[in-house]
Structure 1
Amino acid sequence: MPYRKPREGQPPLPQWKEDLNTAHKSVRARVEHALAHMKTWNILRNCRRKHDGVSHATRDIALMRNLTMTA
């Protein structure tokens, strides 16, 4: 969870908190992009109403995406 920016009149965040916020922002952006990308895939649309289907499909899609990004 990122650190909140201080209100007006309070001292600014220390540099180490700014660095953690930057790292958190980049990781969150990657996760959000991956989830948005997976939502467009037909596999998730077909598994939407199944109980375990979504978790299995999400795991498998994330695995395939990671494999394509590292190759």
Structure 2
Amino acid sequence: MGTFSATDINENGQIVGYGLLDGILHGFLLSQSSEPPNPTPEPATMTLMGCGLIGLGVLGRKFKADKSRSETISAQ
């Protein structure tokens, strides 16, 4: 681990500073990325999608059971 210190923010919004790492003095410049980060789905979105898929599966099974029951009744 090293000890670093941010000393200034320049006119471009970049953070500049210096620090010691393994006894050697280093300078650094932190710049903001020009591209926005990829959106991450929130847990609530994933939960809602999962519940919807489960609901579709239940409805599909119910529909299939009702269809086979009506075919059995009409065959008699």
Which of the five TM-score ranges fits, normalised by the shorter chain? 0.3 to 0.5
With normalisation by structure 1, the TM-score equals: 0.41
Q: Which has the larger radius of gyration?
A: 2
For CA contacts below 8 A with separation 6 or more, give which structure has more relative contact order: 1
Richer in helix (by share): 1
With normalisation by structure 2, the TM-score equals: 0.39
